[in-house]
């Protein structure tokens, strides 16, 4: 993900395609950050709020701003022909980040992306673990004080990612299944199984969760058959 040779490869190009595997509000990956890091313009399709996470209003080409692939291609060719306009996409590297939301996010997070030995903070895995620990201990303190524990529930727009779709040659999203649908469905069932075990106070381990998840498609298929039979 952070390999120097890969960075060098991306840096050879003026543009880099940065299409995420899923279109989710908070799902933004190295596909976007790597081109920004090396000074290449990312052509990004992903989070609906991606503009809130860009360093400036002019630092990436956002696919959703265009009606078709042809429109994007024309704009890329235009930038490729006019260096002054192309260079405007890197003004943020000298003026600094101007996106207020991103500045606030960077200032308040307690983790860093590990780009080398100079980084002394926690990486994002450790940061998330610390976040969970803080929430757990917060509830322990509340219970000691005779208060009800706080329940933390992820909102649908945070983890309720829609099923993956294909993008056709005109840049239009289609409902046709593709390679990620199997993985998407598998993990959706695992999430439902985990929630079921937590709600029922059942054993939570990998094997038991997987066994419950394996039963979900059969249960849903049976319910679907009953609905169709009753119509």
Distance from the Cα of residue 121 to its chain's centroid: 22
For residue 117, the model assigns a pLDDT of 59
**Torsional class of 100: left (φ above 0), alpha (ψ -120 to 50), beta (otherwise):** alpha
Cα 208 to Cα 201: distance, rounded to the nearest angstrom:
13
The confidence score (pLDDT) of residue 24 equals: 81
The C-alpha atoms of residue 6 and residue 101 are separated, in whole angstroms, by 29
Express each pLDDT in 125-168 by its tens digit: 777 788 888 888 998 999 999 999 888 776 666 666 777 666 66
Going residue by residue through the chain (231 aa), what tens digit of pLDDT does each one get? Answer: 667 888 999 999 999 999 987 788 878 888 999 999 999 999 999 888 899 999 999 999 999 999 988 999 999 999 999 999 999 999 999 999 999 999 998 888 777 765 555 656 667 777 778 888 888 899 899 999 999 988 877 666 666 677 766 666 666 666 565 666 777 788 889 988 988 998 888 988 899 999 999 998 866 644 343 444 444
The predicted structure's pLDDT at residue 229:
40
Domain boundaries, the chain: 4-108, 177-231
* Helices H / strands E in the chain, number of each: 10, 5
Q: Select from 19, 25, 37 the least CA-distant residue to 113.
A: 37
At the fourth CATH level, the homologous superfamily of domain 4-108 is Glycosyl transferase family 10, C-terminal domain (3.40.50.11660)
């Amino acid at each position: 993900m952070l390999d120097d040779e890969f960075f060098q490869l991306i840096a050879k190009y003026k543009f880099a395609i940065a299409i995420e595997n899923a279109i989710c509000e908070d799902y933004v990956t190295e596909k976007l950050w790597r081109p920004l890091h090396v000074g290449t313009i990312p052509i990004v399709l992903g989070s609906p709020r991606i503009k809130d996470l860009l360093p400036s209003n002019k630092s990436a080409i956002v696919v959703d701003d265009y009606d078709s692939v042809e429109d994007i291609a024309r704009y890329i060719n235009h930038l490729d022909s006019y260096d002054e306009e192309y260079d405007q996409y890197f003004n943020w590297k000298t003026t600094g980040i101007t996106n207020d939301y991103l500045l606030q996010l960077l200032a308040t997070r307690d983790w860093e992306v590990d780009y080398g030995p100079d980084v002394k903070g926690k990486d994002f895995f450790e940061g998330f673990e610390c976040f969970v620990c803080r929430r757990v201990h917060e509830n322990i303190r509340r219970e000691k004080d005779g208060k009800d524990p706080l329940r933390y529930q992820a909102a649908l727009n945070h983890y309720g990612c829609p099923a993956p779709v294909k993008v056709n040659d005109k840049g239009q999203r289609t409902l046709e299944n593709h390679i990620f649908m199997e993985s998407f469905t598998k993990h959706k069932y695992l999430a439902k199984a985990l929630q079921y075990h937590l709600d029922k106070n059942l054993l939570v381990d990998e094997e038991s969760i997987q066994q419950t998840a394996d039963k979900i498609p059969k249960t849903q298929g049976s319910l679907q058959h009953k609905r169709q039979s009753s119509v």
